[in-house]
Structure 1
Amino acid sequence: MKINVLTLFPDMFTPLQVSMLGRGLEDGKWDLNLVNFRDFTTDVHHHVDDTPYGGGAGMVLQIMPIKKALDSLPSTGKVIITAPQGKTFNEQVAQKWAKEDELTFICGHYEGFDQRVYELADETVSIGDYVLTGGELPTMSMIDATVRLIPGILGNAASPVEESFSHGLLEYPQYTRPADFEGNKVPEVLTSGNHQKIAEWRHKEALKVTYLHRPDMLKDRQFTDEEKKMLREIKSELD
């Protein structure tokens, strides 16, 4: 996968070039192309913004340098703008994007974009109902969530399948050595060697964690008969 990012601050994207994602870059499993659209301005001061027509506070990003930066790319794939008015990003969006060959993100700043910039994009996406100083941090979050789903990026191929949100539930509790830490013991089922019981325990615990912390995720869930039974047991245990 190739990812292009149009940004005024390319140096902010260093975190994507370390750890597992960094190794993926080195191995050629994905490619990150950072484009500073300030380089596509024509005035001597390299302005990328101007005052809004009709008056008002703040500065608005101009369409010209962004359009020229897009046009400089051999290809763009799906073009994405990060903005508060966009649809909310989630795991399902990441899974869909991970199947694309190429993505291009446009990072906003100041008081936002000239409205005509939005016409250049295929999708406008937000990471939540709050405002940041720019689109770089949301873009990095979405790239991380998407790229990690590319085969070979994570060491354990099963990991992204089993994690939170992948099956509409939060992740079950995890434990490692020691089995007993100051009297706080790992649940016996996890050391039993009975893989069927372990799978059942993990499913129930994932359902429990979701019920306790994100009940909204269960609102439209189509429960299996086994999950209905687990949920009854969970509610009874919590009473």
Structure 2
Amino acid sequence: MIHLSVWLAVLAAIFVPLERLCAIQRQTGFRRQLPLDLFLYFASGFVPALVLAAPLAALTALAQSHLPEDYCTALDRLPGPGRLTISFAVAEVGFYWGHRWSHEWPWLWRYHALHHEPERLDWLVNSRTHPIDMIFTRLCGLVPIHLLGLASAKWDRGGAIAAAVVALSTWWGFFLHANVRWRFGWLEQLVATPAFHHWHHVADTPLNRNFAATLPALDRFFGTLHLPARDWPERYGIGAPPQRDASTDEL
């Protein structure tokens, strides 16, 4: 809990001044549900790690005992940056589908909706997530890298690969939710930015877009990208119940 408190102070020191100076929408005072957001910040940082530690360790052991020896040897020869890059790409696909399913399946949406309730976005909304929602999404991203042996205990000491993937997507998420009006031109086609993710929280149409955590190319490939060159959403929150998009079901 101490390290979470330290990180909260660091994040606040970075984003609070930025949101005052570079706001998309000027905000006065604190959001009404700030106490709940702070509670969920600590819960989302602690509960998923506690719940997932044993199941993911079991998956790692299962992968080590069933994957071909030549395959494991090839993985073992990969340099650290190469293993991390492959793991990150695999996990990102899982995170994309976990997030998308959380919108399309009603029993998952009931938990994910908590994240979409705020009508004002700021950096702390990133961790405004129900623990069940967080656990499900992380499973979608981390299970593949464990089953593929990318998080093998033979060389991934201390679960560094999975921890790095989660840390990168989590900390980048604070920037994606920040109330800053910055645009990044062609870079927005390569890396998710606030403009990209703010359209995910739009209360009006188009709904159910921009599910990727960091790679917009996934939304482009699966037909869920919406990224106007200049516009920003006018309203945030839950405007209408989520519906399956028939145009993307055929992909």
Normalising by structure 2, what TM-score? 0.27
Q: Larger relative contact order (C-alpha < 8 A, sep ≥ 6)?
A: 2
